[in-house]
């Protein structure tokens, strides 16, 4: 079975500091996509960053970057210079190629940003 | 770029009543469409997906059903709601031109079954 595990239900970071959210996954596929989504209190799901498994280079989007370790099946998200607006639920997700490319989500990490 | 509309935004229904949630997509053709449910404090669970008109695949057996009468319309239904159907329902799509590598979400419907 393909699973996504986020082992940190809650994390806290001080404004302007850096925080890393962990994610591991299990798959037998060799080519796939991984995502981090942000869900603020409005509950709108917002794509933060995407990683293609065939790319060795880690994806970056402004203050957000990932540490993708394919052999270890690890996909962590680093948020630099944290801002109050970063407070949200963060979901790691893996795309199923055999379920119409649906997403398989972890249970999420709630990120609190303190002033 | 694509836009996903969902309605209603909020719904309170009694147990045993019917349900119809609608999702429409603008800005892309031949999308894959998805219904997810998010229970309180939990992640998203895939309910249904559709790769074309009239093509529905169910991931979780339950009293819900889905239909896709048009290319960019996806409907979630139930004949009789259960208390356990309460949750936040999200419609999503992967645009037809994206190589199925990006998925975008609607604003969601909050359903409370009493």
C-alpha separations of A6 from A69, A108, B13, B61, B65 in Å: 15, 6, 33, 26, 30
**Does the pLDDT of residue B98 top 60, yes or no?**
no
B32 and A101 in contact by Cβ < 8 A?
yes
Q: Is B87 left (phi over 0), alpha (psi -120 to 50) or beta?
A: left
Which chain B residues touch A104 with a CB distance below 8 Å?
46
**What is the per-residue pLDDT for A96?**
67
Beta strands per DSSP E along chain B: 3-7, 10-13, 19-26, 32-38, 44-52, 55-58, 64-70, 73-78, 87-94, 104-105, 109-113
Asked if residue B31 lies in contact with residue B72, where contact means CB atoms within 8 angstroms, the answer is: yes
B49-87: pLDDT as tens digits: 999 999 999 888 688 999 999 999 999 999 999 999 999
**What is the per-residue pLDDT for B59?**
82
A108 in contact with chain B, both atoms CB, cutoff 8 A? yes
The list of chain A residues with pLDDT below 50 reads: none
**What is the per-residue pLDDT for B102?**
81
Cα–Cα–Cα angle for A57, A59, A60, nearest 5°? 130
Residues 39-78 of A with CB under 8 A from B: 42-45, 47, 50, 52
**What is the per-residue pLDDT for A2?**
65
Select from B32, B36, B43 the Cβ nearest to the Cβ of A100. B32
**What is the per-residue pLDDT for A56?**
85
């Amino acid at each position: 079975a393909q699973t996504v595990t986020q082992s940190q239900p809650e994390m806290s970071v001080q404004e302007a500091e850096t925080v890393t959210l962990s994610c591991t996954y299990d798959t037998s596929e060799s080519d796939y996509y991984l995502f981090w989504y942000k869900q603020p209190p409005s509950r709108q799901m917002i794509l933060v960053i995407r990683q293609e498994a065939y790319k060795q280079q880690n994806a970056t989007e402004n203050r957000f970057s990932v540490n993708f370790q394919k052999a270890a099946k690890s996909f962590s998200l680093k948020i630099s210079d944290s801002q109050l607006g970063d407070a949200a639920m963060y979901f790691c997700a893996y795309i199923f190629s055999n379920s119409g490319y649906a997403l398989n989500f972890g249970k999420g990490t709630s990120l609190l940003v303190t002033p | 770029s694509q836009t996903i509309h969902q309605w209603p935004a909020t719904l309170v229904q009694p147990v045993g009543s019917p349900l119809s949630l609608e999702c429409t997509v603008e800005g892309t053709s031949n999308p894959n469409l998805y219904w997810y449910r998010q229970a309180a404090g939990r992640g998203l669970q895939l309910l249904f997906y559709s790769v074309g008109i009239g093509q529905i695949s169910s991931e979780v057996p339950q009293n819900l059903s889905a239909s896709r009468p048009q290319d960019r319309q996806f409907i979630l239904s139930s004949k009789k709601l259960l208390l356990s159907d309460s949750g936040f329902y999200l419609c999503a799509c992967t645009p037809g031109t994206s190589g199925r590598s990006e998925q975008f979400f609607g604003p969601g419907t909050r359903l409370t079954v009493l």
